[in-house]
Amino acid sequence: MEFRHLGRSGLKISEITYGNWITHGSQVTDDLAIKTMQAAMDAGITTFDTADVYAATKAEEVMGKALKGQRRESLEIFTKVYWPTGEGVNDRGLSRKHIMESCENSLRRLQTDYVDLYQAHRYDYETPLEETLRAFDDLVRQGKVLYVGVSEWTAEQIRDAVRIASDMGFDRIVSNQPQYNMLWRVIEAEVVPASEELGIGQIVWSPIAQGVLTGKYKIGAPAPQGSRATDTSSGANFVARWLNDPVLAAVEKLEPIAKDMNLTMSQLAIAWVLSNPNVSAAIVGASRPEQITENAQAAGVTLAADVLSAIDYALGDLVSTDPALTVSPEIRP
C-alpha cells in the first residue's frame, strides 16, 4: 500500500481508502461486510470512510463492529454529516444543533472517541457558513474531530469556507470528497485548481463509475447477478446513467489498454484517478473480500502519458467535464 498526505496537512492516508456506502447495512450481511473490511486491512488499507446517512445509520454501526479491537492509532476513520438521519426538522443540514448531535451519534455507532476526518456531506444553503465552521472548530477543540473536510462543494464554496475559517481563526478545511473517474471529470476545471492553491486534497468516490469501468456490463446483455445495477433499492439508480450503448462500447476499448499493462479494468480505473496529483485517495467499496484485494493492487501503479492519452481517445466526448454539475440541494432534503 502507498500513502499520501491529505491535502497540505500532516496526516497521511492510504491512497486506496475503503468506503461502505450502499454495501454495508443493506446490500451484504454484516458478517460478510466485516470479512471484507478485514481483507482491506490485510491489503494494507488503513483509511475507512463512511457517513451517518449510509444505510440509515447502519453502515457506521457495521464499521464500528469491524474495526473494534484494532489499534486505533493505526487507523484513519472518516465520516460525514448533512443528509437526513431522522424525521425532525433539525435532523439534517449543517446547523450547529445537527452537527453536534450527529457527531455524538456517529462516535457512538463507530465505537470510537474521535474521528480523524469529519466532512460536510453537501453545502447547506440554509445555514450561515460561519455557524457551520464554528461548530466544526468546536469539535476539533474538544478532540472529537482531528481534521475537517467537505464533500461535493464547488470551488467558490470552498474558497469562501477557507477565507472565513482564516478570518475567524478556525481549523482549516483539508479535504474535499467529490465524485471523480474517467467518465466524470467535473472537478478538473475549477475545484482542483482552487484546491491545489488552498492546500486541499481530493478523496474521490466512485473511481470505477459504480462498476461500469470494470467492463462487466455488456451491450445487449443483462446486468450480472448481484451487481449494483440489480440493486433496485439503491445502487441501480446511480449506475443507470452510464448503462447505455455508447458508454459501454467505449469502455470495451479500454480492455486492451488494461491488458497491455497487466491490470484488471478496475485497477486501471483506480490508477487513472490516482494519477491526478491533487487526489489524496480513491474510495473503493466492495461486497466481497476478493474485490477489495484486487482493487488494492492499484496502489503505486503509474500510468504513462501515452496510456492516459489512449484512455482519453477511447472515451472521446462521453466524458462529463462541466463544473456546474457539482451541486447541492438549495433546500435541505
With H, G, I as helix, E, B as strand and everything else as coil, classify residue 330.
coil
* C-alpha cell recorded at residue 172: 482549516
Spatial contact of 4 and 201, defined as CB atoms under 8 Å apart: yes
Q: State the pTM of this model.
A: 0.93
Residues 114-169 have pLDDT tens digits of 999 999 999 999 999 999 999 999 999 999 999 999 999 999 999 999 999 999 99
Phi, psi dihedrals of residue 275, rounded to the nearest 5° = -75, -15
Spatial contact of 329 and 83, defined as CB atoms under 8 Å apart: no
Residues 69-93 have pLDDT tens digits of 999 999 999 999 999 999 999 999 9
Spatial contact of 320 and 186, defined as CB atoms under 8 Å apart: yes
Distance CA 160, CA 269 (A): 32
Position 286 confidence tier, pLDDT thresholds 50, 70, 90: confident
The reported pLDDT for the residue numbered 238 is 72
- Which of these, 176, 165, 80, lies nearest to 129 by C-alpha position? 165
Position 235 confidence tier, pLDDT thresholds 50, 70, 90: low
* C-alpha cell recorded at residue 181: 473517474
Q: Is 69 left (phi over 0), alpha (psi -120 to 50) or beta?
A: left
The reported pLDDT for the residue numbered 151 is 98
The one catalytic residue among 18, 54, 118, 147: 54
Active site residue 180: no
- In this structure, is the dihedral angle defined by the CA atoms of residues 105, 107, 110 and 111, taken in order, positive or negative? negative
Residues 248-280 have pLDDT tens digits of 999 999 999 999 999 999 999 999 999 999 999
Q: With a cut of 60, say whether residue 230 has pLDDT above it.
A: no
How many CB atoms lie under 10 A from the CB of residue 141?
11
Q: With a cut of 80, say whether residue 222 has pLDDT above it.
A: no
Residues in Cβ contact with 34 at an 8 Å cutoff, skipping those fewer than 6 apart: 62, 65, 66
User: Mean pLDDT for the chain?
Assistant: 93
Q: Side chain identity at 13, as an amino acid letter?
A: I
| Cβ-based burial of 277 (10 A; exposed 0-12, middle 13-18, buried ≥19) | exposed
Rounded to 5°, the CA angle 308-285-200 comes to 60
Distance CA 27, CA 232 (A): 10
Please state which of the ranges 47-61, 135-149, 212-226, 227-241 shows the lowest mean pLDDT.
Answer: 227-241
Spatial contact of 213 and 183, defined as CB atoms under 8 Å apart: yes
Distance CA 312, CA 132 (A): 39
**Domain 3-325 fold:** TIM Barrel (3.20.20)
